[in-house]
Amino acid sequence: MHQPTPFHDRAQAVLTAWRIGTLSFVEAVESFNALKYEALQDSSAVNEALVERLMGIVRIARGHYAHAIRHFRMARELYEIAEEPELMLLCDNNMAEAYRQRGDLERAHSIFVRTNEAAQKHDFMLVCIYCQANDGRTLIGLERFAEGLTTLEAALTLARTPQIEPQVLGLIALIHCDMTIALLQLGRPQAAYYAAREALVSAELSKEVRRRAQAHRALGRALSLYTPPQTTDSADAQFEASISLCRETRLDIELALSLAAHGESLLKRGQSEAAGARFQDALALYEQLGFAAEIQKTRQILAALVQKDIG
């Protein structure tokens, strides 16, 4: 992979500042635009590609999938000009993740598998980790939970490599969050609880707001089904922590997901009225974001709650 330069470090610093919440989305975009202008002035394809890829990452988090894909495609083309095959594959991984979040799961899965195979041939370890982690999440979305868990475990093993682990603490947190979901679906709530605890530890070490919010949500899910002996923790407290972090930093997608997950937890515990309020808040955000599948699912849940009240 291309060796870090002062420009690379400055661009990554913008991404890090946005991830930990010290830069807003607008401020991050403005900073990236300034860096892109600098790269164009210097006629540096590598620097321009880096900015395009990082802008795509920020766009994904806001649900701007079409914009993100355009950024990743442009970055890939520039990396091809600069003869950077590892970074080209990293862009393929990023594009697949945008497709996954947009709901095109089969397409995303196909790209992840293909990109991982290419990365393995060249021993591009970091690309393999990202592809396997993202594909594990995709398989969970396809309800192939056992396969997803196996894929996530493989990604985690690679990510725990001593020379790589410090670079991917946020990703390790996300892997544990996804493992929590898979384990719950496979009927292993105790293992899910400990996976969620690991997610929170890694998320805190990474200092990334989004990962912390995701880890609190994962722990809330696990605590909805398993409470370890002598704990004072609660599912509601974890969901509230996640929701609070998302609101503070305008992470609307994560906020909607945490509201919906809290609603599901409350519903399982027989608190229909409180669950309905959470689902209503989630629906408003899904409608604002234009997430058709989530809108339909949430409306169905709310309709069932109304029918239950009438009955």
Task: Say how many CA atoms lie within 13 Å of 93 toward its Cβ.
Answer: 26
Stretch 245-266: mean pLDDT: 94
Widest Cα–Cα separation across the chain: 69
The full DSSP string for 31-75 is HHHHHHHHHHHTT-HHHHHHHHHHHHHHHHHTT-HHHHHHHHHHH
Given a cut of 80, whether residue 93 has pLDDT beyond it is yes
Query: In this predicted model, what pLDDT tens digit does every residue of 27-44 receive, in sequence order?
Result: 999 999 999 999 999 999
Q: What's residue 2's pLDDT?
A: 58
3-state secondary structure 9-29: HHHHHHHHHHHCCCCCHHHHH
> Band of the pLDDT at 121, cuts 50, 70, 90?
very high
When the pLDDT of each residue in the chain is averaged and rounded to a whole number, the result is 95
